[in-house]
Structure 1
Amino acid sequence: MLSTLKKSAHLRRDVLASLVVFLVALPLCVGVAVASGVPAELGLITGIVGGLVVGFLPGSSLQVSGPAAGLTVLVFEAVQEFGLGALGAIVLIAGLVQLALGALRFGRFFRAITVAVVQGMLAGIGLVLIFGQLYTMADVKQPRSGIDKIAGLPRLVAEIATSSAALTAFAIGAATIAVLVLWKKLPAQAQLVPAPLAAVALVTAATAVAGWSVPRVEVQGILSAIQPPGMSDFASLGSLAALGTVLAFALIASAESLFSAAAVDRMHDGPRTDYDKELMAQGVGNAVCGVLGALPMTAVIVRSSANVQAGAKTKLSRILHGLWLVLFAALLPAAIGIIPLAALAGVLVHAGCKLIPVKDLLPLWREHRGETVVLAVTAIAIITTNMFEGVLLGIVLAVVKCAWETSHIHLDVHETTDGRLLVTLTGSATFLRLPRMLETLEALPHDRPVELDLSELRHLDHACRITLENWAQQRGTTIGVLAKA
């Protein structure tokens, strides 16, 4: 009897949670697709696959997958460079790469990526998203590169100030952002309606009542939007740039999904995530999205946290959210066509702001300045170059920082009773510390016998060993005890 009541309670909570997640996912699916430069329906298709395909698979039971704002910039660049037809091929191959990584049990290794790189990646994405969508809010064509988007802001301001059409569109986007910000200050009963849905609905209604003529979302229909990639699309991906794009899709989507899983695990006391299975589930989802020619997917922290906070207990909630998306796309497709593009741009500007860890920057700078530098360099590199190169630079910088911090070495010089100078080295002797070691050793008096004691070293790399042996030979001194390392 108790078991039956418990199952009934779980079912009720999962159904209610699925409705909340659906209402959060709907405007984001459409907005991410539009910002990525693809038909709005492709975002809905990815959301549906995230619910009805990935929702059934093992891994993380409560996190929800779909198109993510974090991949918007990369998708936009890929579509601009390779064309919309090649997007499905890129996503399909990226999904197969994720499947292979999961089968080889690489899932747990993504947890080793420093948080500073991930935060820098999200901050860079957020900044590019903000700068790009500001142009969409004003119905002005946005420049392609991040630097050009920043450099063009004065021109954008002038356009808004001198054009009534741009000012009207920008006001719609600004009103959307205002609703999103103020919605959290309303009573709890009002907040039962998700903020993105409320903002888009209110602004859309106000625009219709005012009779403003502004660009709106173009609707084609789910079935007509599905365009599986052909052989020519796969053939166009033979370049090094295309390979880099595929790897960027696979690695960034995987990292974002698994970091989201770690965050979701901290929100509930249910089953923990199996990272390898979750990685394979994401791979299956992206492979299906690729076959359908849709957007790539990741686990999305916004929907996942909404799912947990709404009381979801099993994976049924995320499956049902996919079903609600199907029903909406089938029964109310025209509802998408009345949404102003500026309203969706406002949602994404707000989402981009939330990707930037503003509150964490000052405490991080006080406690770990090196991590702050990694974060900032990663974000700036993404703005000035592209996603893949920015993340790669961040990872390299993090590795160099770690190597530098762990290669501490101390040289202690003291005189023995017989007049010799005994130099004891402690710590880790790596090539990064060679200049400092040689400066100290070369400053020793040349008229005194010297002996090196390396027994206290934790690590002695080949470069340091050879350099110290050469120095000792030139100096005519001895290395008393070699380090065990």
Structure 2
Amino acid sequence: MPWNTARVRAVLRTDLPASITVFLVAVPLCVGVSVASGAPAELGLVTGIVGGLVAGALPGSSLQVSGPAAGLTVLVHSAVTTHGLPALGVIVLTAGLLQVLLGLLRLGRWFRAVSSSVVEGMLSGIGLVLIASQAYVLLADASPGGALADLAHLPGAALRAVGTAPGRAALAVGGGVLAVLALWKRVPRRLAALPGPLVAVALAAAAVRLLHLPVPTVGVGGLLGALQPPGADQFALLARAGVWGTVLAFALIASAESLFSASAVDHMHAGPRTRYNRELVAQGIGNTVAGALGALPMTAVIVRSAANVQAGARTKAARVLHGGWLLLFTLALPGLLELVPLAALAALLVHAGAKLLAPRARLRLWRTDRSEALVLTATTLGIVTTNLLEGVAVGLVAALAKTAWDVTHIRLQVEQTPAATVVRVHGNATFLKLPVLVDRLEEVSPTGPVELDLSALTHLDTACRQALTAWADQHRRRGLPVTVTPAPANSRLVEAA
């Protein structure tokens, strides 16, 4: 669409205010994710800038916003710990090129074929690991390392924190941030226009400054000093097989998170729908540029995207402008970051982890579909006990096992009285379960009218149809009236009996 005066006015009226809102939401989250990942605070802002100015300007989705995501914090921290911060750039760059390739091969929509239980389990696992690790920052203590160790030693760390001045101060700051985030939905509408995370962090910074609390703050070394473009030594790391496992994990998980976010954002507005392959290419180009600068990986993030939609954005100009505001802030006001307490950022991420964990939603799933809940639980436990990539693999295996069970599962419910015998068949009647079906039918010995109810079947193949037909004919020959309620998808086949 060509730019004209009317379009410029529309952007100034809707997208410009929305971009400022998204910028205010993005600043504390970009910094918090970066610090929690073991990287300088500036690198998170660089990724946010690239997400806005580069990925935001490319076609794909018009309203979702990209930047460093809490969902990748665990993976990035593991990569930095294992391979070193200088290696992060080449890992992110290579993962971005892989994303571009996946998009050009038109594989974007295939990410939507992954079981939702595996995806939700992945988010729950990430949320639990994130909470466990960031809780130690809230307690002014050192993390033992590893999700299981973090969870096991958390009670002891809490007791130690209560007994020290720095621990009590960090707990007070983090608790205050969590209280503001929890109560922000209840504030008057005029105040609610301000982003809760920004207000919470600003209040925490003011309290630490005014009360001289012994709480560490963000260290700032300057934007240019933080950038670490990969050199020849870093590219040589690609000869290691272990690095490729990390690259693959970055590419697949960042792609899945971005495209699932796109699907959610599409439900929030009535504008153009996401073109998934193009969005995958855009995310890949963004990560390639971020990697070339030595910054964190990016994904589309639902919190900033939702803020963008709710603020009234209409075009991609809002997300591009938010990248411009991040750049201006990073160049002009980097000193403000030194006022931000680490405990406040940790509280932000604990809150984000709780949203990813979503215990109420998981409990509802357990009540409505326990087999899907078991897949989700297997994925979550796999991530907590091993790592992100292996945990997702555990979830995929569990999802395949559940599908195999669903495809072959069959259940007969027999209600026998002197007046009638009712046989209800549930599940999938396939040849794989034919012996079980025949054995179970042979156990039924009706003495009066027979009703064969197949309405609860989801699939009925020819072999099982013939077995059911033969059973019904057998009792008809004995002079018993037999009534068949057919399966919805196979009515004509069953009625032929």
TM-based fold match above 0.5: yes
Superposed counterparts of 1:19-30, under 5 Å: 19-30=20-31
Query: C-alpha separation between the residues in 2 aligned to 1:20 and 1:358?
Result: 29
The offset of 1:238, in angstroms, is 3.2
Contact 1:427–1:459 under 8 Å retained in 2:
no
CA 459–177 in structure 1, closer or farther in 2 if over 3 Å, else same: farther
Counterpart in 1 of 2:353? 352
Identity, in percent, stands at: 56
Superposed counterparts of 1:102-141, under 5 Å: 102-141=103-142
Contact 1:382–1:391 under 8 Å retained in 2:
yes
SS in 1 for 2:461: strand
CA 359–234 in structure 1, closer or farther in 2 if over 3 Å, else same: same
Query: C-alpha separation between the residues in 1 aligned to 2:121 and 2:392?
Result: 8
Question: For residue 327 of structure 2, what is the amino acid of its counterpart?
Answer: V
The offset of 1:410, in angstroms, is 7.3
The offset of 1:429, in angstroms, is 3.9
How many equivalent residue pairs?
Answer: 438
Question: For residue 120 of structure 2, what is the amino acid of its counterpart?
Answer: Q
Query: C-alpha separation between the residues in 2 aligned to 1:434 and 1:290?
Result: 56
CA distances 1:197-235 after superposition (whole Å, capped 9, x unpaired): 000001100110001132110101111111111222222
Contact 2:141–2:161 under 8 Å retained in 1:
no
Superposed counterparts of 1:315-394, under 5 Å: 315-394=316-395
Counterpart in 1 of 2:287? 286
SS in 1 for 2:189: coil
* Range that drifts further, 194-203 or 392-401: 392-401
Contact 1:16–1:310 under 8 Å retained in 2:
yes
Contact 2:96–2:283 under 8 Å retained in 1:
yes
- Gaps in structure 2 of 5+ consecutive residues: 414-424, 445-458, 464-497
Contact 2:165–2:214 under 8 Å retained in 1:
no
The offset of 1:411, in angstroms, is 9.2
Contact 2:50–2:290 under 8 Å retained in 1:
yes
* Range that drifts further, 105-114 or 239-248: 239-248
Superposed counterparts of 1:69-108, under 5 Å: 69-108=70-109
CA 48–442 in structure 1, closer or farther in 2 if over 3 Å, else same: same
Contact 1:110–1:258 under 8 Å retained in 2:
yes
Superposed counterparts of 1:32-51, under 5 Å: 32-51=33-52
Query: C-alpha separation between the residues in 2 aligned to 1:5 and 1:298?
Result: 32
Query: C-alpha separation between the residues in 2 aligned to 1:295 and 1:341?
Result: 19
Counterpart in 2 of 1:59? 60
Could you state the TM-score of these two structures normalised by the residue count of structure 2? Answer: 0.83
Contact 1:428–1:459 under 8 Å retained in 2:
no
* Range that drifts further, 399-408 or 327-336: 399-408
Contact 1:119–1:357 under 8 Å retained in 2:
no
The offset of 1:441, in angstroms, is 11
- Gaps in structure 1 of 5+ consecutive residues: 413-423, 445-455, 461-485
Counterpart in 2 of 1:234? 235
Contact 1:79–1:87 under 8 Å retained in 2:
yes
Alignment partner of 1:458 is 2:465: no
CA 278–214 in structure 1, closer or farther in 2 if over 3 Å, else same: same
CA RMSD of aligned residues (A): 2.6
CA 75–442 in structure 1, closer or farther in 2 if over 3 Å, else same: farther
The offset of 1:428, in angstroms, is 5.2
Query: C-alpha separation between the residues in 2 aligned to 1:243 and 1:5?
Result: 49
Contact 1:68–1:297 under 8 Å retained in 2:
yes
CA distances 1:20-51 after superposition (whole Å, capped 9, x unpaired): 00000000000000000010000000000000
Query: C-alpha separation between the residues in 2 aligned to 1:410 and 1:19?
Result: 58
CA 137–402 in structure 1, closer or farther in 2 if over 3 Å, else same: same
Counterpart in 1 of 2:180? 179
Superposed counterparts of 1:247-258, under 5 Å: 247-258=248-259
The offset of 1:358, in angstroms, is 2.1
